[in-house]
């Protein structure tokens, strides 16, 4: 908690609360990063679930580099936004759910790719894929609703 207050009262917190254009710029970076990460997650999971079967899954690899780029944009912009009122966010249910969903969704993405690579039965691949996609969707929905459930 001390750390959160220190972070919130430090220069990053001050910047995001007081700079006129700081907040919108960080906010739109967060939206662009989200579209990038989620775009790749959605496309890949659609493929694993059976859409456009002619697409080779290993050929998606470079899109994952793009997705990681989006993820880092979001990690950084997210940390800056978090500084705005970190000691409040940590107690907000929608924020906790969002972070949990993203961590679980990210881990499951690894499992999905692992299952594809290891040639696990289709139902295992698809089950992992659908739970993974749902986690990421929960991450987006709770992120959007954070503004309303404060």
Partner 1 sequence: MFWEPFATWLESTWFHGVMIDIYWMFPLMETLHFLALIWLFGALLVVDGRVLGIVRFLNMKACMKFIPVAMIAFSFSFLTGLAFLHADPFNYLANPGFQWKMALIAIAGINALWFWLGEHKELLSLADGQQAPFRAKVIALISIVLWVFIIIMGRILPYTGGAG
Binder among 4, 14, 22, 43 for partner 1 (CB under 8 A): 43
Using CB under 8 A as the binding rule, whether residue 145 contacts partner 1 is answered as: yes
Using CB under 8 A as the binding rule, whether residue 66 contacts partner 1 is answered as: yes
Using CB under 8 A as the binding rule, whether residue 137 contacts partner 1 is answered as: yes
Using CB under 8 A as the binding rule, whether residue 90 contacts partner 1 is answered as: no
Using CB under 8 A as the binding rule, whether residue 134 contacts partner 1 is answered as: no
Write down the least CB distance from residue 73 to partner 1, Å: 11
Write down the least CB distance from residue 70 to partner 1, Å: 10
User: Under a CB-based contact definition with an 8 Å cutoff, are residues 7 and 90 in contact?
Assistant: no
* 87 versus 94: smaller Cβ distance to partner 1: 94
Binders in 23-42 for partner 1, by CB under 8 A:
23-24, 27-28, 31-32, 34-36, 38-42
SS (H, E, C) the chain: CHHHHHHHHCHHHHHHHHCCCHHHHHHHHHHHHHHHHHHHHHHHHHHHCCCCCCCCHHHHHHHHHHHHHHHHHHHHHHHHHHHCCHHHHCCCHHHHHHHHHHHHHHHHHHHHHHHHHCCCCHHHHHHHHHHHHHHHHHHHHHHHHCCCCC
Binder among 62, 91, 119, 121 for partner 1 (CB under 8 A): 62
């Amino acid at each position: 908690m001390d750390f959160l207050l220190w972070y919130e009262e430090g220069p990053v917190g001050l910047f995001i609360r007081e700079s006129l254009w700081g907040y919108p710029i960080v906010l739109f970076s967060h939206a662009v990063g989200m579209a990038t990460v989620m775009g790749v997650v959605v496309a890949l999971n659609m493929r694993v679930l059976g859409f456009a079967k002619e697409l080779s899954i290993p050929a998606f690899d470079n899109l994952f580099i793009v997705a990681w780029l989006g993820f880092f944009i979001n990690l950084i912009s997210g940390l800056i936004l978090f500084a705005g009122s970190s000691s409040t966010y940590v107690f907000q249910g929608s924020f906790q759910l969002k972070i949990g969903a993203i961590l679980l969704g990210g881990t499951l993405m690894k499992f999905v790719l692992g299952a594809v690579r290891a040639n696990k039965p289709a139902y295992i691949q698809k089950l992992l894929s659908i739970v993974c996609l749902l986690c990421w969707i929960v991450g987006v929905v709770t992120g959007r609703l954070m503004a309303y459930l404060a």
